[in-house]
Amino acid sequence: MLRKTFLPPIADLLAFEAAARHASISRAAEELHLTQSAVSRQIRQLEEQLGMALFHRVRQRVVLTDAGRVYAADVRAALQQLSACTQKAMAFSHAGGLLNLAVLPTLGTRWLIPRLAGFTERHPDVTVNLAARTEPFDFAGTPLDAAIHFGAPTWAGAVCEFLMREEVVPVASPDFCARHGIALREDLTRVLLLQQSTRPTQWAEWFEQVGVATTVALRGPRLEHFAMIAQAAACGQGVALLPRFLIGQELGAGTLVQLFDDAVVSADAYYLVYPEARARSPLLQAFRDWLLAQCAADGG
């Protein structure tokens, strides 16, 4: 049960958080459209309820006490969470449902978003919100309902449903190929290799698979997202290993060309991940079924 004793008024918390962030009563008052005396009164009320000082008053400034510093961080996180919950509730008021989905950045922009119209046509009253995430996280600490994850099917407290595997192929711009005379697989050992920072051994695995011995597989600039690597390769800055299903537009337009047929099929895969408690959610089930159909159509 929530005890009122431990739930200060929101107005007092807002005044405290603003003053802590600005280290100034006057700037907090300006932000909150209140008088300085009103903000000071709200902070005093909060300090009286807590039974401790939150600030040291130093001339025209306020400086957080040690306890105040810890409390400010926690209050800020709680206010942000409350704001997110309120936005979520408001979104429900005019819609048939709300799905907050975490996605890998390039997968979201290049693969999922172009297809989402198909889902919203079937479910016009549903709102799908997307957030970028590259690593597993605790669903309990976020407003997110599900995630599209690349890796192993291990996620604490969550269900992992297989979506598809990934084939990466070597690509470069036509101009880069012409300038460097790339004709054989061995030619890639003497050109700049664009590296995916989260998959540092990808080029080494490709060279091993095609039977080319080299000591340069780990050399080259590292970029975090596939979209960055695709852009760098299309601009003639090197050769990239990219998932074929994410660069269909570049291959079709001819800004990138696939150099060889050899593809590395990753041992990891894409999964739809969601908390076990949401496994029976009709909205999540509808999205899962649609997503599985999209992956199957792509050969997943």
pLDDT for 176 equals: 96
The residues, any chain, with a CB within 8 Å of residue 279's CB and separated by 6 or more, are: 159
23 neighbors 62 (Cβ within 8 angstroms):
yes
Identify the CA nearest to 96 among candidates 128, 142, 130: 128
d(CA 269, CA 36): 56
pLDDT for 300 equals: 56
The 8-class DSSP code of residue 108 comes to I
pTM over 0.75: no
Phi, psi of 272 (to 5 degrees): -90, 125
Phi, psi of 8 (to 5 degrees): -65, 160
Question: Using N-to-C axis directions, what is the helix angle for 25-32 and 10-22, rounded to 10°?
Answer: 130
In CATH, 99-161+268-290 is 3.40.50.620: no
The residues, any chain, with a CB within 8 Å of residue 45's CB and separated by 6 or more, are: 8, 9, 12
In CATH, 4-90 is 2.30.30.20: no
The 8-class DSSP code of residue 266 comes to P
pLDDT for 2 equals: 57
Distances (CA, A) of 13 to 26, 34, 35, 168, 291: 16, 14, 16, 51, 42
pLDDT for 93 equals: 52
pLDDT for 263 equals: 87
Largest CA distance in the chain: 77
CATH fold of the domain at 167-265: D-Maltodextrin-Binding Protein; domain 2 (3.40.190)
Interval 157-194: pLDDT, tens: 899 999 999 999 999 999 999 999 999 999 999 999 99
Band of residue 299 on the pLDDT scale cut at 50, 70, 90: low
Interval 106-155: pLDDT, tens: 999 999 999 999 999 999 888 899 999 988 888 887 889 999 999 999 89
Residue scoring higher pLDDT (57 or 4): 57
Interval 15-72: pLDDT, tens: 999 999 999 999 999 999 999 999 999 999 999 999 999 999 887 789 999 999 999 9
Identify the CA nearest to 264 among candidates 183, 213, 205, 215: 205
pLDDT for 3 equals: 66
Within the chain, all domains assigned CATH 3.40.190.10 are found at 99-161+268-290, 167-265
Residue 223 amino acid letter:
L
The residue assigned the tokens 């600039």 is 221
Within the chain, all domains assigned CATH 1.10.10.10 are found at 4-90
pLDDT for 92 equals: 58
220 neighbors 194 (Cβ within 8 angstroms):
yes
Identify the CA nearest to 270 among candidates 163, 177, 170: 163
d(CA 97, CA 93): 9
Distances (CA, A) of 106 to 51, 128, 159, 221: 50, 17, 23, 19
pLDDT for 81 equals: 84
Band of residue 96 on the pLDDT scale cut at 50, 70, 90: low
**Taking CA 168 as the corner, what is the angle to CA 167 and CA 170, rounded to the nearest 5 degrees?**
145
Interval 214-267: pLDDT, tens: 999 999 999 988 999 999 999 999 999 999 999 988 999 999 999 998 888 888
